[in-house]
Amino acid sequence: MGVSNRRTGTQGRINKKLLALHFSSSASTYDSHAALQREIAWQLVDWAAPRLSFPGGAPPRALDIGCGTGFLTGFLLDRIRPDSLVAIDIAGGMLIRTRELDAHRTVRLVQADGECLPFAPGSFELVASSTAFQWFASPAESLARICRTLAPAGRLVFATLGRGTLAELKESYREAAGRMGITLAAGRYGPPLPGEAELVDALKLAGLDQIATECRTKHEFFPSCSHFIHSLKARGANNPNFRPMSIATERRLMSLMSETYERRFTTDGRVYASYEVIFCSCRKGKR
């Protein structure tokens, strides 16, 4: 069983132009709402560092895919200390923010889609990414492309969101839609996310070996469902597949969804949101 190809059918496609617009627009508010993303980036580096070994102690060339405002970029510089580091993001607004924080201009920033890497085969000894792969439209094919950019025995380390992410939100939408007697398109719930076993299978097919994974569940807490939705949007995590219904239907759906969420997924007076985070380290195989 492999990771599904999301380009099959219109419902599965990721609108990359809209995705880039959402993240660029949220660049100024991202950091104040993205404590979880910062934590995941740090934990990825802390988890992966003991699994990395390079001649001379540090990778000569490293790449950060989906750098955002630079959380992982900074942690790579502090902990892994590559001789050179390239950071890419599909959203130009995010790169502007990263450049503002990189006062010494130690990182080469490139606006690019992580699924269409503009680099020659064998360009990097290390490729890293944190909470970006879940936005890939064709994850299995993209992993194979990433593998090609690795030098022989190069390492790939990443954290991505798994199938259990935002289960409460998805269930609240399903219940609300059921109460209204409507069926929501699959894309309404965001891009399909892989399970840990699916991800491992896809990495093997891409030509990667020495695969190590760890799955962790994390939670966020908010005063209300509306605060939660606002926080998602402030991080650019709007659904790029979203196709609104009529204004009246959309308002009714959101009202019922929020009521359901606060009724079913509240603890100690706060709503909670769950994230399944998959950490992975692997090596480019010899084939």
Q: Which of 103-117, 120-134, 176-190, 220-234 has the lowest mean pLDDT?
A: 176-190
In the chain, the percentage of residues whose pLDDT exceeds 70 is: 92
C-beta of residue 74 within 8 angstroms of C-beta of residue 253: no
Rounded to the nearest integer, the mean pLDDT of the chain is: 90
Strand partners, 267: 270
Both tokens of 233, joined, read 């949007």
Band (pLDDT 50/70/90 cuts) for residue 103 is low
Going from N- to C-terminal start, the domains of the chain cover 10-163+191-216+276-284
CATH code linked to domain 10-163+191-216+276-284? 3.40.50.150
Q: Which of 7-11, 226-230, 266-270 has the lowest mean pLDDT?
A: 7-11
Q: Is residue 267 exposed (0-12), middle (13-18) or buried (19+ Cβ within 10 Å)? A: exposed
Tens-digit pLDDT profile for residues 45-99: 999 999 999 988 899 999 999 999 999 999 999 999 999 999 999 999 999 988 8
Phi and psi, residue 281, nearest 5°? -135, 135
Cα 148 to chain center, whole Å? 21
Question: What is the residue-wise DSSP string for 149-208?
Answer: HEEEEEEEEEEEE-TTTTHHHHHHHHHHHHHHT----GGGG-S----HHHHHHHHHHTTE
The position carrying tokens 């630079």 is 70
Strand partners, 282: 156
Give me the pLDDT at residue 7, please: 40
Average pLDDT over residues 22-29: 92
Give me the pLDDT at residue 184, please: 85
In the chain, the percentage of residues whose pLDDT exceeds 90 is: 77
Band (pLDDT 50/70/90 cuts) for residue 216 is very high
